[in-house]
Amino acid sequence: MNDVSPMAAGKALAQGPGALSGLKIIDLTRVLGGPYCTMVLSDHGADVIKLEPPQGDETREWGPPFDEAGDASYFLGINRNKKGVGLDLSKPAGREVLLRLLEDADVLTENFKPGSMEKWGIGYEEVLSKRFPRLIHCRVSGFGADGPLGGFPGYDAVLQAMVGLMSINGTETSGPTRLGNPIVDIATGLFSAIAILMALHEREKSGKGQFCDMTLHDCGMALLHPHAANFFLNGRRPRATGNPHPNLQPYSKFKTRTCEIFVAAGNDPTFRKFCEFLGMPELAKDPRFATNAARVTNRDALAEALNARFADEDGHELTRRMLAAGLPAGPVLNVDEAMAADHTAYRKMVTELGAYRGLGTPIKLSRTPGGTRSAPPRFNEHGAAVLRARGFSDAEIAALARDGVLVQERRR
């Protein structure tokens, strides 16, 4: 699983060093938020060294499905392009290895319980910022280190519940519903990548690193638009509306003969054009539907009229014609159908390298495109090579392995 050349066989592979070439990241994160962040950066050339605890990143076991070597799809989906090292940070010698690796690093990411790094004598304020003044330290935690919930553990679904996301998902009859994907973790990974890039940009002017305090709580709350904005203005508690948008109509799912479709008519001119396209110009003149405010008030009546109009249509063909006419619409696809779609292939959103398959990078840069460079690492796959590149002698590496500091195999 070495780095690939531009000519290696596969799909959506990196074709050059990438926009972040030369950036070195020491990654102590596990599970999702932190690893997602570092994968985004590694797709664009950052050299990410993933230091795993003796038991490994627990998502290696979050399956089935598993690959032929026993690693779960959950781990494989967010850890490509990284070098894997098994390191026991509970041992003083392990922390010394970490400090040596940080000597030429730009970024440290970790998601330990707040206070853990300080207990180990390697906290940012007292140790790392003084020893490595240009280092950017990004910590991902549930709630931060202080405040009423400071130091408490955080998990995606729990935060979806606590920040209000579950309350506006689902329907009036279903009650609060967890989003189908771990949106808070993924958003935290994305916001963390943005924070790191901001800190790197500022470092170009100041020459100084800084601490990025990223929490699932804050990032989850940042996803509440427009429901928070509505509440701030009208003081009413937002509620779950199912597929329809709380502020727009039609902006919802409808049934056709062949599939369900989603239609988004975001303003009055678009709605009038939408009605003309459907051969229903009178609908746009109906006082109940003439303005967006009226359509939101009379959403059920409009939905009944549109479902009747769509009942005999081929949804796939209809939505393609609508798109061609400048009307936002699309079929409701299953995941396997979305992976097989022609535009998915055209946009290189499925990447392959050998047996590895994953989602491609959505960040498309013209001069420095990113992409897959190497498959997700096996546990400690690059341990000796990473230490050797940092100046450790073969004798030192052997001693670290003998003493269980450099962990050769996962401890179950």
**Residues with active-site annotation:** 185
Q: Which residue is associated with the tokens 């001069």?
A: 367
Rounded Cα distance between 3 and 255, Å, is 47
DSSP, collapsed to helix, strand or coil, labels residue 109 as strand
109 φ/ψ angles, rounded to the nearest 5 degrees: -115, 140
Q: Which residue is associated with the tokens 């992976």?
A: 339
Helix (H) / strand (E) element for 303: namely helix 299-310
Q: CA 13 → CA 73, 77, 322, 338, 348, distances in Å?
A: 20, 15, 33, 20, 9
Q: 143, 213 in Cβ contact below 8 A?
A: no
Q: Give the contacts of 173 (CB within 8 A, at least 6 positions apart).
A: none
Rounded Cα distance between 252 and 395, Å, is 65
Q: 107, 26 in Cβ contact below 8 A?
A: yes
Beta strands in 76-119 (DSSP E): 82-86, 107-110
Rounded Cα distance between 73 and 213, Å, is 29
